[in-house]
Chain A
Amino acid sequence: MKFFFYLAAVLVLMTITGCGEKKEDVSGNVTVYVSEDQVFSEPILRDFEKETGIRVNAIYDTEESKSTGVMNRLIAEKNNPQADVYWANEPIRAEVLKQKGISAPFVSENAKQIPAVFKDPDGYWIGFSARARVFIVNKRVEEKPKGITAYTDPANRGRSVIANPLFGTTTAQMAALYTVWGDEKAKNFMHALKQNSVVISTSNGESADFVAAGVYDFSLVDSDDAINRMRSGKPVMMVYPDQETGGTGCFIVPNAAVLIKGAPHLKEAEILMEYLLSKETERKLAFADCAQIPLHPGVQMPAELKPISAIKVMPVNYSDVAKKMIEIQPFLKEWMGL
């Protein structure tokens, strides 16, 4: 009967695409879910394959649903984990995973020199290669913004842009401000943004493009967005916000390596975790287009980057930020909807 023919055909397909590939396995394989941009993360994972002979099966996040598609899968798959490692592009969602009991603690040899502020004290996530939340500023602007409050300066009314705070690193930054400033001040700041006609864009990339095109004067973006536009010769510059003594400091967003609880390939997962947390990976990510700041001391980096020790870092507890982020979601949503 035809039905069985097709059923057989599906099985054949599964064999071709699935099992066929397993023949290459020299020393096992590892499944990793990745929120860091595929353009930057895939070369690292390919190098890992070459150096260790362990095959990597990866699922990447998309730009528009950044950290959501993959996160949802991790949560939905909780009862029967498919992933071994989660490469988060920021620690907040790693915190959510910890709270939901999806990740497992991991003690890393390689990460010992990474400052404690960028690591979960129990090892449920470990930070590496970071982005900084910086201002991208069009060069023709005379009065460069110095701190985040430039957004609420009436002089800049309607001249600034920020990515949708419901998504990505912008959400994290807002939550971080809540933890540093306290709810009242942060909420007032949000309202002031609106009163000062700050434009909302769909992504940091779009904000950077707006500023590069001179549509708006400045925007908070990720450091890689700014460096990218600078490298392609756009008339923009990068400003680390709130660096003055007593200032809030610059919000740092490290990548985070997370070991998944019940990982089907534990041994390979541990090898991959150490690989991601090595100095060599940090060096590669610093020289790649994403220009991420190494967290290990003494790693080579391109000239545009300031070493982490030279940046005044916003003192946050990422666990508090994660909790605050969930707490302020209804407010942010309402804020966006109005």
Chain B
Amino acid sequence: MSERLFLTVIVIFLMAVGMSPLLFMLFESMSVDGHFSLNAYAEVLQTDRQWTLMRNSLTLASAVALLTTLVGVPIGILFGKTDLPFRRFFTILFVTPLLVPPYISAVSWSNFFTHAGGFSFQFLFGLPGAILVLFTVFLPVPMLLTIFFLRSIDPSLEEAGRVFASWGKVMRGITIPLIFPAIALSFMLVFILSFGELSVANFLRYDVYAMESFTQFSAFYNFKAATAAALPLVVAALLFLWVEEVFLHKRRVGSHAHFGREVQLIPLGTFRVWLFLSVAILGFTIVLLPLITLLIQSAGLSHYIDAFDRAGDSMLRTLLFGVFAATLLTFFGFFTGYLIHKRTLKIWRLADAATIFLFALPGTVIGIGLISLWNTPWTNFIYAGPAIIIFGLLAKYTALTSKISAVQLSQISPSMEEAAQVSGAGWFRTVVFIVIPLAWRGLAVAWIIGYIFSLRDTAVTMLIYPAGQDTLPIRILTLMANGSPELIASLCVIMILITLLPAALFWLILKTIIKVSP
């Protein structure tokens, strides 16, 4: 009983935080002077422009999802499964673009091309540029998921194949089919992320649908139209829920956790040098070039002193919010993931759908919803403090930690929990002492992902942060208005460090504390 009660409380809390603002907005958008009306919707959906924008968005999102999957999965296999030299270093290198707000990537790319001397400068502006930037930003998603899934495959499954087949055949016939959920999941994730992303497309002047809702807010102050314009995004989110239901749930990995056995590395042999060179060149082009542009621009102690003077307080707050939000995201994500995996309550589907839906929705919409719901004299203690930021981040990103937890939990044999139950342990004891230790790797990944996404968020935070309590990505955005490029570049470098160092530290600490291998 305590299990059901606890999970119900978790779901209700998430619904209150995430869905209620949206329902409130929906209600507002459909009432005109106290009467029910769909005018706002009719107006938005009747223009041709909406459909052009929708087509643009779909083109961009599918191109980015396809490209990242095609490149990211092989790279993930190379880094997670072979004896490629410096694979750990490469993993970290390729992840960096995901850590910074995407518009920073767009800015550094455009800086790079400007410095490089107008080399078909215009190519960057429009669809190709948007694809390029979003590709570098989201490439780590399939890469990391592939590495993560490869680790959880029972080595004996591959060994069984190795007895009579080459590594190539085993990969094609056994390993890749086993990590198919990771591939599908990452495709979907990248699609949703690109679909809702507007800062890059805006900067590079490619008109996308997510921009429409934003424009309705920004240029017209029209809340109803903005809500209505968000409707197709809702439909898109629901469509993906359906795709996920059909393709992913049926293809759960059947194997369970495997401790104490090393991942079998594939020897690359003669290809080793060539693959190393190719990866190095790719990494240099898509990660280091823009990064070096940033570093060159920020060179000089005085820029960094200026940066600390202008944004020191924001840096500290960013760290605090990030750690807090990540911890809460992991907590709520774990229990929703647990619910989705075990389906203890009938509302598991609702919880699953709601979190993904919120994740797919542009942050601006969530932000406005949170304001309209929470900004009342009675809830001022939440709205006027950091709690509202935490709420916003929880609403937006719980899907990530919940999915990671669910996937990790699906790798743990149900008998582990049952054995604890017959030993007389209640649900809490079983979860704390058996399930969580068994799922620690997934939880650590969830925390890091939660941390990164909380840190780099601008869309939600920008609309709801309390006065005088902004975060570093927001400060960078606000200082970008006429701030010197040197200052912005040094702030971006600091931003990357703030993200990377604590995440790396956290991982190292966990690795030393929890010894699972002999």
Contact residues of A with B, CB < 8 Å? 1-3, 6, 9-10, 13-14, 16-18, 21, 31-33, 37-40, 42, 55-66, 68-69, 71-73, 75-77, 79-80, 82-83, 96, 100, 166-167, 171, 202, 205, 213, 224, 228, 289-290, 326, 329, 333, 337
Question: In chain B, what residue has the closest Cβ to A31?
Answer: B467
Q: B246-254, B287-295, B372-380: which one contacts chain A?
A: B372-380
Report the separation of the CA atoms of residues A205 and B368 in the bound assembly, to the nearest whole angstrom: 28
CB-based contact B480/A56 at 8 Å: no
B185-204 with Cβ < 8 A to chain A:
199, 202-203
CB-based contact A76/B375 at 8 Å: yes
Q: How far is the CB of A175 from chain B (nearest CB, A)?
A: 12
CB-based contact B481/A6 at 8 Å: no
Q: Which residues of B contact A17 (CB under 8 A)?
A: 317, 320, 385-386, 469
CB-based contact B375/A79 at 8 Å: yes
Q: Mark B316-342, 1 if CB is under 8 A from A, else 0.
A: 010010001001100100000000000
B470 within 8 A of A: yes
Given A13-B324, A228-B482: A167 touches B219 (CB 8 Å cut-off): yes
Q: Which of A62, A68, A171 contacts B481 (CB 8 A)?
A: A62
Given A56-B468, A73-B463, A167-B219: A38 touches B478 (CB 8 Å cut-off): yes
B67 within 8 A of A: no
Report the separation of the CA atoms of residues A53 and B444 in the bound assembly, to the nearest whole angstrom: 45
Report the separation of the CA atoms of residues A62 and B203 in the bound assembly, to the nearest whole angstrom: 13
Given A60-B478, A62-B481: A69 touches B463 (CB 8 Å cut-off): yes
Given A2-B331, A3-B9, A6-B328: A18 touches B478 (CB 8 Å cut-off): no
Q: Which of B205, B217, B390, B428 contacts A68 (CB 8 A)?
A: B217
CB-based contact B385/A61 at 8 Å: no
Contact residues of B with A, CB < 8 Å? 6, 9-10, 49, 52, 103, 118, 199, 202-203, 205, 214-215, 217-221, 223, 310, 317, 320, 324, 327-328, 331, 368, 371-372, 375-377, 380, 383-387, 390, 428, 462-463, 465-470, 474-475, 477-483
Given A17-B320, A32-B467: A37 touches B221 (CB 8 Å cut-off): no
Given A13-B386, A16-B320, A72-B218: A38 touches B481 (CB 8 Å cut-off): yes
CB-based contact B463/A329 at 8 Å: no
Q: Which residues of A contact B217 (CB under 8 A)?
A: 68, 72
Given A9-B324, A57-B467, A76-B372: A62 touches B480 (CB 8 Å cut-off): yes
Listed residue (A59, A61, A337) with the most chain B CB atoms within 10 angstroms of its CB: A59
> Would you mind naming 14 contact pairs between A and B with Cβ atoms under 8 Å apart?
A3-B9, A3-B10, A38-B483, A59-B465, A64-B103, A65-B462, A68-B217, A73-B463, A75-B223, A79-B375, A82-B384, A166-B219, A289-B482, A329-B219
Given A17-B320, A79-B376, A83-B467: A61 touches B368 (CB 8 Å cut-off): no
Q: Which residues of A contact B202 (CB under 8 A)?
A: 64, 202
Q: How far is the CB of A21 from chain B (nearest CB, A)?
A: 8
Question: In chain B, what residue has the closest Cβ to A34?
Answer: B478
Given A64-B199, A72-B463: A59 touches B470 (CB 8 Å cut-off): yes
CB-based contact A69/B375 at 8 Å: no
CB-based contact A76/B386 at 8 Å: no
Q: Which of A33, A75, A77 contacts B221 (CB 8 A)?
A: A75
Given A40-B482, A62-B480: A73 touches B468 (CB 8 Å cut-off): no
Q: Which of B368, B467, B475 contacts A82 (CB 8 A)?
A: B467
Q: Which residues of A contact B468 (CB under 8 A)?
A: 21, 31, 55-59
Report the separation of the CA atoms of residues A333 and B222 in the bound assembly, to the nearest whole angstrom: 14
CB-based contact A68/B219 at 8 Å: yes
Question: In chain A, what residue has the closest Cβ to B391?
Answer: A10
Report the separation of the CA atoms of residues A31 and B118 in the bound assembly, to the nearest whole angstrom: 44
Q: Which residues of A contact B384 (CB under 8 A)?
A: 18, 82
CB-based contact A61/B481 at 8 Å: yes
Judged by DSSP, the binding face of B is helix
Q: Which residues of A contact B478 (CB under 8 A)?
A: 38, 60-63
Q: Which residues of B contact A33 (CB under 8 A)?
A: 467
CB-based contact B375/A77 at 8 Å: yes
* 20 more CB-based (< 8 A) A-B contacts, given A13-B320, A63-B480, A80-B375: A9-B327, A13-B386, A17-B320, A18-B466, A39-B479, A59-B465, A60-B470, A64-B477, A76-B371, A77-B375, A82-B375, A82-B384, A82-B466, A83-B467, A166-B215, A202-B202, A202-B203, A329-B220, A333-B49, A337-B49
Q: Which residues of B contact A18 (CB under 8 A)?
A: 384-386, 466, 469
Q: Which residues of B contact A337 (CB under 8 A)?
A: 49, 52
Report the separation of the CA atoms of residues A71 and B462 in the bound assembly, to the nearest whole angstrom: 12
Question: In chain B, what residue has the closest Cβ to A337?
Answer: B49
Q: Which residues of A contact B462 (CB under 8 A)?
A: 62, 65, 69
Q: How far is the CB of B227 from chain A (nearest CB, A)?
A: 12
Q: Which residues of B contact A167 (CB under 8 A)?
A: 218-219
* 6 cross-chain pairs, A with B, having the tightest CB-CB distances, nearest first: A57-B468, A68-B218, A57-B467, A63-B481, A60-B478, A62-B477
Q: Which residues of A contact B118 (CB under 8 A)?
A: 213
Question: In chain A, what residue has the closest Cβ to B483?
Answer: A39
Report the separation of the CA atoms of residues A13 and B324 in the bound assembly, to the nearest whole angstrom: 8
Question: In chain B, what residue has the closest Cβ to A40?
Answer: B482
Report the separation of the CA atoms of residues A40 and B118 in the bound assembly, to the nearest whole angstrom: 31
CB-based contact A14/B387 at 8 Å: yes
Report the separation of the CA atoms of residues A110 and B240 in the bound assembly, to the nearest whole angstrom: 59
Q: How far is the CB of B22 from chain A (nearest CB, A)?
A: 14
Q: Which residues of B contact A333 (CB under 8 A)?
A: 49, 215, 219
Report the separation of the CA atoms of residues A166 and B317 in the bound assembly, to the nearest whole angstrom: 34
Report the separation of the CA atoms of residues A60 and B469 in the bound assembly, to the nearest whole angstrom: 11
Report the separation of the CA atoms of residues A16 and B466 in the bound assembly, to the nearest whole angstrom: 14
Q: How far is the CB of B102 from chain A (nearest CB, A)?
A: 12
Report the separation of the CA atoms of residues A69 and B371 in the bound assembly, to the nearest whole angstrom: 12
Q: Which residues of B contact A77 (CB under 8 A)?
A: 371, 375
Listed residue (B218, B465, B480) with the most chain A CB atoms within 10 angstroms of its CB: B218
Q: How far is the CB of A154 from chain B (nearest CB, A)?
A: 24
Q: Which of A57, A60, A76, A171 contacts B466 (CB 8 A)?
A: A57
Q: How far is the CB of B487 from chain A (nearest CB, A)?
A: 8
Question: In chain B, what residue has the closest Cβ to A5?
Answer: B331
Q: Which residues of A contact B218 (CB under 8 A)?
A: 65, 68-69, 71-72, 167
Q: How far is the CB of B469 from chain A (nearest CB, A)?
A: 6
Question: In chain A, what residue has the closest Cβ to B222?
Answer: A329
Listed residue (B463, B466, B467) with the most chain A CB atoms within 10 angstroms of its CB: B467
Q: How far is the CB of B4 from chain A (nearest CB, A)?
A: 15
Q: Which residues of B contact A171 (CB under 8 A)?
A: 219
Q: How far is the CB of A168 from chain B (nearest CB, A)?
A: 10
CB-based contact A202/B205 at 8 Å: yes
Q: How far is the CB of A30 from chain B (nearest CB, A)?
A: 9
Q: Which residues of B contact A202 (CB under 8 A)?
A: 202-203, 205
CB-based contact B477/A63 at 8 Å: yes
Q: Which of A2, A21, A224 contacts B482 (CB 8 A)?
A: A224
Report the separation of the CA atoms of residues A103 and B203 in the bound assembly, to the nearest whole angstrom: 32
Q: Which residues of A contact B199 (CB under 8 A)?
A: 64
Listed residue (A13, A100, A224) with the most chain B CB atoms within 10 angstroms of its CB: A13
Q: Which residues of A contact B324 (CB under 8 A)?
A: 9-10, 13
Q: Which residues of B contact A60 (CB under 8 A)?
A: 470, 478
Report the separation of the CA atoms of residues A72 and B218 in the bound assembly, to the nearest whole angstrom: 7
Q: How far is the CB of A73 from chain B (nearest CB, A)?
A: 7
Q: How far is the CB of B216 from chain A (nearest CB, A)?
A: 10
CB-based contact B375/A6 at 8 Å: no
Q: How far is the CB of B10 from chain A (nearest CB, A)?
A: 8
